[in-house]
Amino acid sequence: MQKSLRHSIYLLIGLTGLAGILLAETVIQNFNAFPVEDNKVLIKWETSREDGSLEYFKIIRSTNGSNFFVIDTIHARNKPHQYEYTDDDVFAKPGTHSDPTIDNRVYTYKLGLSYGQSGSDVIYEKSVEVAPRISGTNHTWGSIKAMFR
């Protein structure tokens, strides 16, 4: 009897902890990216719920669809919120001014979620692609800047 009661208490504690994990998640909605003007992409997303331990979002970008890197971070509000980020450095990478695919370049964006206490990062499963309008003048300047990074 004593052993059965102990297992019931552990099971109840385990289920209570699991319910806390399921309820304390961040829910992302409407993750999109749009070209807004030459050499700029607007990234927008909203949350309907945010976990209290979420510290910040990572804006993650790829220029080839396979190699991703963090371009910036946005602090979480820990309440439902609409977020925006403008990527104004879309012309700098990859390639050079002689790149024949310059006008057809597609950028892929993802969101990362960083949790402070646990130290864990989660990548949101949806990615978005956008083909920004790239100014030839700014692309040349971006290529020069990229050489010195």
Listing DSSP states for 64-113 in one string gives SSS-EEEEEEEE--SSSEEEEEEE--TTSSSS-TT-TTGGG--EEEEEEE
The tens place of each residue's pLDDT in the chain, 149 residues long, gives 454 444 433 433 333 333 333 334 888 989 999 999 888 999 999 999 888 888 999 999 998 888 999 999 999 998 999 999 999 888 644 444 444 545 567 899 999 999 876 667 888 889 999 988 776 665 555 556 665 65
Q: Indicate the pTM of the whole model.
A: 0.68
In CATH, which superfamily holds the domain spanning 25-147?
Immunoglobulins (2.60.40.10)
Q: Where are the domains of the chain?
A: 25-147
